[in-house]
Amino acid sequence: MPIPTTDPRDTPPRQLARERVLTQIRDAILQGVLQPGERLDEASLRAWLGVSATPIRQALHALVLEGLVESAPQSHTIVATPRPERVVANMQTVGVLLLGVVALSLPLLADDEREELAARAGAVATHLAAGEIADASQLSGAFFMPFIERCPNEVLVDLTRRVGTSLGYQVFTTHSALAGEMDSVARAYRTLESALRSSEIARVLASIRQAFLIESSR
């Protein structure tokens, strides 16, 4: 496996080793440094991260639970390969979590915050319409972050952060399987832009359901 160029010493010194290792391996997967199907060799991970085997094994176990890593006992540990046939189910699951977050957070946002979010939704729609999926994915994450930060339900926030990252990665990695849905998703973000500007909560939530294919029959 390739050794990422990040220096483990760049992280805060008070962070526990297992947390630092978890963050660095996760980031390497999400950023494409570690590719789907790539074997995660413990010796190489120790050389890169500068820690013993214990925090590495703890981190890999956590990543298995998140769905970013696959492990077969006494065989191999590899970066998970997302399955295209699950892309709609993964997208819908992310959407259901974010629907709850937005429903709880939206009434707490000021007018200027909703205006900023409307502009972000419009930017997502523009990139989707242009086929710029990587940019649209990044902007979509930025769009929903203020809702997550303002959500008063800590349990929902924790679940969304832990599960949403993995599922979002799997959706992005297999997005070509959604080629026939992208126009609909782009229109949903455009409607979301308009709904935020008019403060129509029901329309905002309906747009998110459409954007995440929650009502899709696929």
HEC-encoded secondary structure of 76-130: EEEECCCCHHHHHHHHHHHHHHHHHHHHHHHHHCCHHHHHHHHHHHHHHHHHHHC
Q: Rounded to an integer, what distance in angstroms lies between the CA atom of residue 11 and that of residue 121?
A: 32
Judge whether 18 lies within some domain.
yes
Together in a domain, 23 and 69: yes
Domain that holds residue 15: 8-79
pLDDT, position 17? 85
Q: What is the mean pLDDT of the chain?
A: 89
Judge whether 135 lies within some domain.
yes
Q: What is the CATH number of the domain that holds 23?
A: 1.10.10.10
Judge whether 148 lies within some domain.
yes
Together in a domain, 71 and 169: no
pLDDT, position 76? 84
pLDDT, position 103? 97
Together in a domain, 124 and 201: yes
Together in a domain, 183 and 92: yes
Note the pTM of the prediction, 2 decimals: 0.80
**Domain boundary pick from 31, 49, 79:** 79
pLDDT, position 15? 62
Number of domains the chain contains? 2
Together in a domain, 93 and 169: yes
CB 137, CB 211: distance < 8 Å: no
Together in a domain, 106 and 67: no
Residue type, 151: C
Residues of the chain with pLDDT under 50: 1-5, 8-9, 11-13, 217
pLDDT, position 14? 52
pLDDT, position 73? 76
